[in-house]
Amino acid sequence: MSNLVLLKNKDAFTTSLIIADGTGVKHRNVKELFSKYETEMKSFGTFSVSNAQSTGGRPEEIYLLNEQQATFLITLFRNTQKVVAFKQELVSQFYEMRRLLLERQTKTWLETRQQGKITRHAETDVLKELIDYAKDQGSQNADMLYVNYTRLANKMAGISKRDLASVMQLNNLTTIENIILRCIQLGIAEDKHYKQIYKECKRRLEDYQEIAFLGPARKAV
């Protein structure tokens, strides 16, 4: 399943729409159930409402629910196989988000994240050089190289957002970005085509994962 738990102002939450999509229950029915037990839901804290455009073009209310509210709400669902699987994944993701929020408060996480930003800055400088290098080789989409290499690094590290990565993932990401940095520098020095440089970066990262016993890139958090 995709990310079921989101982060806002250092608080973990999910939405009525995520619950509807994950359980196969119509969003309208989820909101009706919420309204029926609104008093009980409010006992677990206040809730927010956001508006999103529905398929019909009309604004649709979406409830933002904290862990207790979401947990209570899904206990009211009939336990089909899909609902049970969703409940298991939702509980797991809330647990992981709580663990990450606690880890982010530690000195180790803060220092690791700062070191990662230093490495990222150095990599960005090299990517700027690569973009100019690719343009000289005739690339019409050289500016996309920054995005492409960022996606590659995140995928290999198994993350989606860097501020939601664990210390282990951040350390792994720093190593990955150093590999990319050196590979690009070497490729430019050897006058290789920019597309070949990308392929070699990807191959080296795959070799690194195999050597480090990381296996395939893990699912992003």
Which pLDDT belongs to residue 110?
92
CB contact at 8 A, 194 and 133: yes
* Per-residue confidence band for 2, with pLDDT thresholds at 50, 70 and 90: confident
DSSP annotation of 207: H
Q: Residue 129 contacts by C-beta under 8 Å, 6 or more apart in sequence? A: 184, 188
Instruction: Tell me what the mean pLDDT of segment 18-31 comes to.
Output: 94
On the question of pLDDT at 55 being above 60, the answer is no
Instruction: Tell me what the mean pLDDT of segment 125-153 comes to.
Output: 95
Instruction: Tell me what the mean pLDDT of segment 69-83 comes to.
Output: 93
What's the one-letter identity of residue 117? K
φ/ψ bin of 56: left (φ > 0), alpha (ψ from -120 to 50), beta (otherwise): alpha
For residue 116, what are its two tokens?
Answer: 């990662």
Q: Where are the domains of the chain?
A: 6-102, 107-211
The 10s digit of each residue's pLDDT in 163-220 is 888 999 999 999 999 999 999 999 999 999 999 999 999 999 999 988 775 454 444 4
Which pLDDT belongs to residue 56?
58
pTM: 0.71
On the question of pLDDT at 20 being above 90, the answer is yes
On the question of pLDDT at 221 being above 50, the answer is no
Which pLDDT belongs to residue 64?
93
Count of residues in the chain = 221
On the question of pLDDT at 29 being above 80, the answer is yes
Q: What are phi and psi of 15, to 5 degrees?
A: -130, 160
CA distance 90 to 74: 10
Which pLDDT belongs to residue 10?
78
CB contact at 8 A, 165 and 151: no
Instruction: Tell me what the mean pLDDT of segment 140-158 comes to.
Output: 94
Which pLDDT belongs to residue 161?
84
CB contact at 8 A, 16 and 60: no
For residue 184, what are its two tokens?
Answer: 């690009």
For residue 20, what are its two tokens?
Answer: 């509807």
* Per-residue confidence band for 143, with pLDDT thresholds at 50, 70 and 90: very high
Instruction: Tell me what the mean pLDDT of segment 153-172 comes to.
Output: 90
The 10s digit of each residue's pLDDT in 77-129 is 999 999 999 999 999 999 989 988 899 889 999 999 999 999 999 999 999 99
Q: What are phi and psi of 65, to 5 degrees?
A: -120, 135
CA distance 11 to 177: 29
